[in-house]
């Protein structure tokens, strides 16, 4: 049992030294491993000679040793900082050795007085205070070719799950590894479920009896680096791994957490009075009452994540939350669930994963969640509410989805995950409309961008956080990526319709010399590209990819381009329709005999493309590339039979290789347990249509 005060350590981190941070010999149960030499592999700045992890759950201790050889000056620069992250509220950090092997001599640099303890809150700008600390050692006189050997242990004295332990160890890495060990030492192996990869002939398994129990060992030698392609699906672990857990099922995880949450529902009289006011103000409509309760929590409880302890898993009691008027995702969810249940609705907290999404159900059962939301069952319909999204508007009818795919209800009756259905088509989307009017070679362009549903929530959040000027800058940069000569001639127009949850941005641009000479024909040409569609589609090279391709999902976008020019009649994008289990794409031309309007529609339908279907996806890209742009060519004398032409757009053309449609970025908060991981799109490779870096402004968890 702990008797020291964690808050004192946070006020003065150096007091951790000697109490929660110690220099000690490695535990007596640790098996000493031999280091195997490994020749350098070209292209890798570091060679990992040894990775050794040994875990003794009865000792609540995890031992780690890694030995690496520094092959380049840059590796020396980065390896000079040895960092150990730990949470003093639940962990004791033991540093056993920090040694440098050079010219046959081994020198240990682990000295308590040379270790700085810093409190580096990596997610403080996102409203998350985790209480984690970093023990920092700066190595002196480090050189290329040195071998750095680091040994440490973490002892957990967390009281939340004292009878449980879980861990996952990757057996493959992005660096070449000479020798890797993973050991599980226990007197009660029957309490743990072990998941191992299929026998590939490279992993050697052994057992040995010790006075501390049976030691199960897995060992691999001379493991090559695993080169990973870009655009892996969110939550996909490409490395072979061993997973161990003491939980028998996901139902047991839910019941254990439900037991912890049951102790927190003490609302107090002040909160009950607030609830009575809301109920009195909405006597006739249950839907209006639900929406009012959601708005009450959203607007009155400031998001602030204070997550000291394992995963920050247990919320404060309701009385405390209301008194201090802030909380993270689990606390805002706990409060909203109580308000809904007290008003007669069926509401439960639901655990989800921002980082793993639906793939969390493929992992061995354990409390590995990083977010919690509200599941509401009303009039035989399922609703999903994230009370940390303060920019969310609209009505209950549109709160039918969140992007996490699967959820585990915190309930004694829970046995398995339930599915979070996707939003129906046409609910959460972006619509871009452009109208070109030509005066000679110059053009004036009217641009309108509409954000609907979850997309509106995202852009509204950016407006509230960064302001109109930042949105205007991004709005201009987006247009200029495909029309470099365009200049905004009006102030950005912004309108917000909270009831229908639509945000509209608009503006007028001038584009001098939008029509340019075609050196081959002497006529003037102008190319039109639907940038909002391009930025959503992931390109892919033709290599023999062995991993699935992650898609930007869920996403839906419409883009129309109207051409007002005397010679535009007949400018046609051929009717093209693609509709399969991965994507839906449509392109064509409306009103082609008067003012032609090029139209494009793209919607993702799955989060990833399996390896077996990558060839078909490449064919889809070829079809899209054939119609993704139109090169309009004028007829100066109007006596030629020439027609506006359509140009096939290949995915590797140089002029689009550096295309980066910008999007507003917004600090995102993982609502409750830790930092969220923003969904970045990387469109890269030899034959890609774009290289995109974009932060999806949707229902990413905010706590």
The tens digit of pLDDT for each residue in 44-69 reads 999 999 999 999 999 999 999 999 99
Q: Which domain holds residue 482?
A: 429-657
Q: Read off the pLDDT of each residue in 274-295 and give the average, rounded to a whole number.
A: 95
pLDDT in tens, 626-680: 999 999 988 754 433 444 444 444 544 333 333 333 333 333 333 333 322 222 2
CATH number assigned to the domain comprising residue 311: 3.10.620.30
pLDDT over 80 (residue 195)? yes
Question: Across residues 14-27, what is the average pLDDT?
Answer: 79
The residue among 510, 469, 472, 475 whose CA lies nearest residue 489 is: 510
- Predicted local confidence at residue 416, as pLDDT: 96
Q: Is residue 700 part of a domain?
A: no
* Residue listed under structure tokens 């609540």: 60
Separation CA 597–CA 446 (nearest Å)? 14
Share of the chain above pLDDT 70, in %: 84
Is residue 372 within 8 Å of residue 329, measured between CB atoms?
yes
Whether 245 is covered by a domain: the verdict is no
CATH number, domain of 26, equals 2.60.40.3140
Of residues 338 and 692, more confidence is placed in 338
Q: Up-side HSE of residue 300: CA atoms within 13 Å toward CB?
A: 15
Task: Put residue 534 in one of left, alpha, beta given phi > 0 → left and psi -120 to 50 → alpha.
Answer: alpha
CA atoms within 13 A on the CB side of 59: 20
Pull the structure tokens for residue 607: 């989060």
Same domain, 509 and 546: yes
* pLDDT over 90 percentage in the chain: 64
Judge if 408 and 470 occupy the same domain.
no
CB atoms within 10 A of CB 649: 20
In the prediction, which pLDDT does 4 show?
Answer: 53
Mean pLDDT across the chain? 84
Instruction: Report yes or no: 325 and 379 within 8 Å, Cβ to Cβ.
Output: no
Same domain for 536 and 618, yes or no, is yes
- Comparing 78 with 271, the larger pLDDT belongs to 271
Q: Has residue 354 been placed in a domain? A: yes
Q: How many structural domains comprise the chain?
A: 3
pLDDT greater at residue 407 or residue 263:
407
Write down the pLDDT at residue 663.
34
Residues 400 and 281 placed together within one structural domain of the fold: yes
Helices (H) and strands (E) in the chain, counts: 12, 38
Residue 236 to residue 221: CA distance in whole angstroms: 25
Q: Are residues 433 and 396 in the same domain?
A: no
Answer yes or no: do 364 and 320 share one domain.
yes
Tens digit of pLDDT for each residue in 228-256? Answer: 999 999 999 999 999 999 999 999 999 99
Question: Is the Cβ–Cβ distance between 401 and 453 less than 8 Å?
Answer: no
- For residues 177 and 220, state if they share a domain: yes
**For the residues of 375-387, what is the DSSP string, one character each?**
EEEETTEEEEE-T
Q: Report yes or no on 648 lying in a domain.
A: yes
Q: Is the pLDDT of residue 384 over 70?
A: yes
DSSP state string for 46-72? EEEEEEEEEEEGGGTEEEEEEEEEE-S
Question: Is the residue at 384 inside a domain?
Answer: yes
End-to-end Cα spacing for the chain: 30
Q: What is the pLDDT of residue 14?
A: 58
440 conformational bin, left if phi > 0, alpha if psi -120 to 50, beta if neither: left
Mean pLDDT of 441-463: 95
Which pairing describes strands 429-439 and 556-564: parallel, antiparallel, or unpaired? Answer: parallel
In angstroms, how far is CA 246 from the centroid of its own chain?
A: 28
| 279 neighbors 293 (Cβ within 8 angstroms) | no
Non-local CB neighbours of 55 within 8 Å, separated by 6+ positions = 61, 62, 63, 165, 167, 183, 184, 185, 244
Q: Is the pLDDT of residue 697 over 50?
A: no
Give me the count of residues in the chain. 703
> Where does the pLDDT of residue 304 fall: very low under 50, low under 70, confident under 90, or very high at 90 and above?
confident
Do 17 and 70 lie in a common domain?
yes
Distance CA 69, CA 50 (A): 10
SS3 419: strand
3-state DSSP assignment of residue 321: helix
Report the DSSP beta bridge partners of residue 383. 376
Q: Is 500 within a domain?
A: yes
| Model confidence pLDDT, tens digit, residues 336-375 | 999 999 999 999 999 999 999 999 999 999 999 988 999 9
Give the tens place of pLDDT for each residue, 365-380: 999 998 899 999 999 9
User: Considering only CA atoms, which of 623, 619, 643, 640 is closest in space to residue 632?
Assistant: 643
Angle, CA of 61, 62 and 65, to the nearest 5° = 140
Say if residue 269 is in the same domain as residue 338: yes
Is residue 468 domain-resident? Answer: yes
Q: What is the DSSP string of 563-614?
A: EE-TT-TT--PPPEEEESSSEEEEEEEESTTSS-EEEEEEEE-SSEE-GGGH
User: In this structure, are 496 and 635 located in the same domain?
Assistant: yes
**Same domain, yes or no, for 35 and 16?**
yes
pLDDT for position 343: 96
Q: Residue holding tokens 């989805």? A: 401
CB 73 within 8 A of CB 216: no
Cα–Cα distance, 408 to 698 (Å, whole number): 21
Please give the model's pTM, rounded to 2 decimal places.
0.84
Per-residue pLDDT tens over the stretch 64-121: 999 999 999 999 988 888 888 888 878 889 999 999 998 888 888 877 777 776 665 4
Last residue of a domain, one of 623, 638, 657: 657
Same domain, 214 and 298: no
264 occurs within a structural domain: yes
Mean pLDDT within 500-505: 96
- Predicted pLDDT at 664: 34
Q: Is the pLDDT of residue 154 over 70?
A: yes
Ramachandran assignment for 223, one of left (phi > 0), alpha (psi -120 to 50 degrees), beta (any other) = beta
Last residue of a domain, one of 657, 672, 693: 657
> In this structure, are residues 87 and 132 in contact, taking their beta carbons and an 8 Å threshold?
yes
Per-residue pLDDT reduced to its tens digit, 131-146: 567 878 888 888 999 9
Secondary structure percentages of the chain, helix, strand, coil, to 5 = 20, 35, 45
Tell which of 357, 388, 419 closes a domain: 419
């Amino acid at each position: 049992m702990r008797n020291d005060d964690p808050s004192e350590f946070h006020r003065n981190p150096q007091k951790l030294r000697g109490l929660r941070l110690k220099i000690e010999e490695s535990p007596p149960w640790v098996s000493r491993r031999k280091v195997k030499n490994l020749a350098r592999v070209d292209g890798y700045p570091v060679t990992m000679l040894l990775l050794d992890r040994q875990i003794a759950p009865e000792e609540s201790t995890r031992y780690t040793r890694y030995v690496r050889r520094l092959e380049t000056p840059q590796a020396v620069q980065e390896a000079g900082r040895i960092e150990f992250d730990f949470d003093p509220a639940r962990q004791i950090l033991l540093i056993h050795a920090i040694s440098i092997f050079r010219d046959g001599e081994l020198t240990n640099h682990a000295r308590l007085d040379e270790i700085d303890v810093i409190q580096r809150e990596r997610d403080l700008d996102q409203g998350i205070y985790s209480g984690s600390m970093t023990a920092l050692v700066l190595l002196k006189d480090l050189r290329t070719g040195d071998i750095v050997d680091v040994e440490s242990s973490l002892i957990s004295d967390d009281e939340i799950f004292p009878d449980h332990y879980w861990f996952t160890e990757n057996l493959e890495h992005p660096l070449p590894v000479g020798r890797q060990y993973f050991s599980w030492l226990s007197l009660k192996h029957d309490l743990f479920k072990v998941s191992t990869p299929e026998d590939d002939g490279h992993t050697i398994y052994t057992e040995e009896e010790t006075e501390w129990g049976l030691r199960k060992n897995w060992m691999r030698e001379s493991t090559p680096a695993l080169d990973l392609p870009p655009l892996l699906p969110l939550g996909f672990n490409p490395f072979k791994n061993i997973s161990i857990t003491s939980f028998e099922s996901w139902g047991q995880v839910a019941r254990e957490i439900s037991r912890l949450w049951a102790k927190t529902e003490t609302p107090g009289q002040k909160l009950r009075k607030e609830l009575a006011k809301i109920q009195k103000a909405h006597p006739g409509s249950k839907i209006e009452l639900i929406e009012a309760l959601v708005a009450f929590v959203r607007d009155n409880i400031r998001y602030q994540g204070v997550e000291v302890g394992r995963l920050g898993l247990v919320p404060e009691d309701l009385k405390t939350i209301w008194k201090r008027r802030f909380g993270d995702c689990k606390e805002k969810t706990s409060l909203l669930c109580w308000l809904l249940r007290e008003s007669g609705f069926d509401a439960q907290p639901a655990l989800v994963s921002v980082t793993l999404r639906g793939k969390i159900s493929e992992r061995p059962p354990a409390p590995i969640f990083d977010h919690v939301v509200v599941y509401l069952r009303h009039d035989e319909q399922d609703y999903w509410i994230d009370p940390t999204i303060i920019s969310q508007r609209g009505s209950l009818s549109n709160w039918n989805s969140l992007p996490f795919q699967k959820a585990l209800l915190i309930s004694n009756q829970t046995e398995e995950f339930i599915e979070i259905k996707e939003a129906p088509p046409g609910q959460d989307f972006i619509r871009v409309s452009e109208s070109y009017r030509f005066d000679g070679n110059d053009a004036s362009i009217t641009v309108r961008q509409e954000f609907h549903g979850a997309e509106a929530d995202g852009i509204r959040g950016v407006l509230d956080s960064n302001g109109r000027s930042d949105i205007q800058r991004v709005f201009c940069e987006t247009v200029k990526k495909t029309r470099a000569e365009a200049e905004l001639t009006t102030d950005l127009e912004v309108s917000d319709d909270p009831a229908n949850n639509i945000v509209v941005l608009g503006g007028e641009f001038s584009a001098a010399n939008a029509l340019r000479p075609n050196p081959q024909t002497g006529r003037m040409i102008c190319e039109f590209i639907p940038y909002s569609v391009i930025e959503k589609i992931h390109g892919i090279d033709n290599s023999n990819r062995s991993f699935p391709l992650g898609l930007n999902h869920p996403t839906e976008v419409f883009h129309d381009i109207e051409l007002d020019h005397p010679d535009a009649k007949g400018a046609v994008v051929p009717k093209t329709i693609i509709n399969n289990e991965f994507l839906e794409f449509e392109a064509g031309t409306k009103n082609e005999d008067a003012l032609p309007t090029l139209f494009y529609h793209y919607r993702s339908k799955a989060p990833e493309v399996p390896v077996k279907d990558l060839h078909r996806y490449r064919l889809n890209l070829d079809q899209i590339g054939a119609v993704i742009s139109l090169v309009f060519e004028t007829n100066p004398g109007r006596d030629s039979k020439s027609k506006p032409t359509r140009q096939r757009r290949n995915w590797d053309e140089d002029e689009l290789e550096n295309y980066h449609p910008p999007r507003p970025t917004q600090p995102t908060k993982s609502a409750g347990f830790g930092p969220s991981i923003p969904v970045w799109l990387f469109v890269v490779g030899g034959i890609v249509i774009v290289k995109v870096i974009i932060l999806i402004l949707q229902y990413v968890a905010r706590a």
